[in-house]
Amino acid sequence: MGDDLIEKALGLLCDKYIFPEKAAEAAAVIRAKRAAGAYADLGEAELGEQLTADLAEVCADKHLRVRPREEDLREALTEEQMIAAYVQQLRRNNHGIARVERLDGNVGYLDLRQIPDASAGGRAIAAAMELVTHTSALIVDLRKNRGGAPNGVIFWTSYFFPDDETHLNDIYDGASGRTRQFWSLAHLPGERYLDRPVYVLTSDVTFSAGEEFCYNLQTQKRATLIGATTRGGAHPTEFFPLSATMEITVPIARAVNPVTGTNWEGIGVVPDVEVPAGEAFGYAYEKALRHVLATGTSATVLEEARAALPASG
């Protein structure tokens, strides 16, 4: 079983990986190690860990992993079944939206743990934005966000731009050799969030699509990033089952930001204000409250902001 799993993984690696030369090099290294007995007598989970470590030595790509499949995905082996299981999973975890709140001082707060595909999560994203649309400043907490779908990032971040004229990201697809441009959307459900500050909280857990969310807003100077440098994974990925219980995730494309001409792969997104991740919320909330006190006109909101300020740090 181990040899079959390894060969299937290497076949997918060489066929799909965005960097074919690296794939061939990694496959040669792993085959040599297998011939030397490096993977003998390893259980599936241990084998996945060792293969992932060996792939990392050659490719240094945090998206490239061999790992156990999640329990609720193990019956999904075809592409159609995997999509259906993914949609069900999104519904169960509220499309990654862990918390939406109006904080004292009329500051909006979004805790986003995942970025859903826009076709599945668009209504939930719009509903979350509707609940913060009249706040005076917004905190978007991505400290526990481990990724998701690029089109979901575009849907979310389009709310922070006035029209469809902001070029947010490009993705180069390895299989076709084509580059797809991603621009802010011309139409969104509900109101856009304009002319008010946005603070994005980051940590060393923030990954993949969560990082793109950060990078898109930072390069367009539309948000202030506060926290720790993110994990550093910029390659859109597909999941391929190796068996009912194991899978390989293979990067099949790479992001190219239109402002910087590059991405955050391997280095992470460096926040504008570096503070320990655990202190990021307090720092951002204080900045938001001070903005409210400097610009607000509602006596009730100003009173809330003054009362909240001493506890915000």
Residue 78 within any structural domain of the chain: no
Q: What is the pLDDT of residue 244?
A: 86
Are 61 and 133 part of one and the same domain? no
For 30-57, the pLDDT digits (tens) are: 999 999 999 998 988 899 999 999 999 9
Average pLDDT score over residue span 168-197? 97
Are 210 and 132 part of one and the same domain? yes
Are 139 and 274 part of one and the same domain? yes
Question: Is the confidence at residue 79, as pLDDT, over 90?
Answer: no
Residue 257 within any structural domain of the chain: no
Are 153 and 290 part of one and the same domain? yes
Are 59 and 123 part of one and the same domain? no
Are 137 and 222 part of one and the same domain? yes
Q: What is the pLDDT of residue 71?
A: 76
Domain count, the chain: 2
Question: Is the confidence at residue 86, as pLDDT, over 50?
Answer: yes
Q: What is the pLDDT of residue 92?
A: 86
Q: What is the average pLDDT score of the chain?
A: 94
Q: What is the pLDDT of residue 313?
A: 45
Q: How far apart are the first and last CA of the chain?
A: 55
Tokens describing residue 272: 């504008």
Are 154 and 193 part of one and the same domain? yes
Residue 201 within any structural domain of the chain: yes
Average pLDDT score over residue span 192-216? 98
Which stretches within the chain are classed as H helix? 2-16, 20-35, 44-59, 79-92, 118-132, 150-158, 209-219, 280-295, 299-312
Residue 75 within any structural domain of the chain: no
| Banded model confidence at residue 1, pLDDT cuts 50, 70, 90 | low
Q: Which of 70-74, 190-194, 225-229 has the lowest mean pLDDT?
A: 70-74
Of the three residues 69, 85, 103, the one that is the final residue of a domain is 69
Residue 196 within any structural domain of the chain: yes
Secondary structure string (H, E, C) spanning 111-157: EECCECCHHHHHHHHHHHHHHHCCCCEEEEECCCCCCECHHHHHHHH
Instruction: Give the domain extent around 217.
Output: 93-233+268-312
